[in-house]
A = this chain, B = another copy of it.
Amino acid sequence: MYRAVVTIRLKKGVLNPEGRTILRALNFLGYREVKDVDTFKCIELLIEGGDRERVRERVEEMCKKLLANPVIHDYEIKIEKMEKD
């Protein structure tokens, strides 16, 4: 069993309105030391399989087909083997 964590964030240059909103809200609440805010999403997958490279290929495919939008997103995949396989 593997645990894959896919981190999906907006590409550089793509506006992140959520981050901007949080930044303004924090500044407004008095947290003026906050200078920038970025947000990103993580998807954690529990995957059955024996071969780490094969798992990575499949997750890469999932990202392209469903999880990320390649026009606006960068993604990063981390895979770890779970104990008690």
Contacts and interface: CB of A to CB of B under 8 A. Distances in A.
Contact of A66 (B26, B33, B35, B55): B26
Interface residues of A, number: 32
Given A25-B66, A62-B26, A66-B29, A37 B41 contact: no
A15 interface: no
Number of copies: 2
A34 B47 CA distance: 5
Interface string A10-45: 000000000100100110010101111111111111
Contacts of A45: 26, 34, 36-37
Interface of A: 1, 7, 19, 22, 25-26, 29, 31, 33-49, 55, 58, 61-62, 65-67
